[in-house]
Amino acid sequence: LAADIDPAYAAAFEEAQAKGVERLIYGTRISPEGVWVSQQKFST
Each residue of 1-44: pLDDT tens digit? 789 999 999 999 999 999 999 988 888 899 999 999 987 766 65
Residues 6+ apart with CB under 8 A from 40: 26, 27
β-bridge mates for residue 30, sequence order: 35
Are 23 and 42 contacting, i.e. CB atoms less than 8 angstroms apart? Answer: no
Residues 6+ apart with CB under 8 A from 28: 35, 36, 37, 38
The pLDDT score that the predictor gives to residue 19 is 98
pTM of whole model > 0.85? no
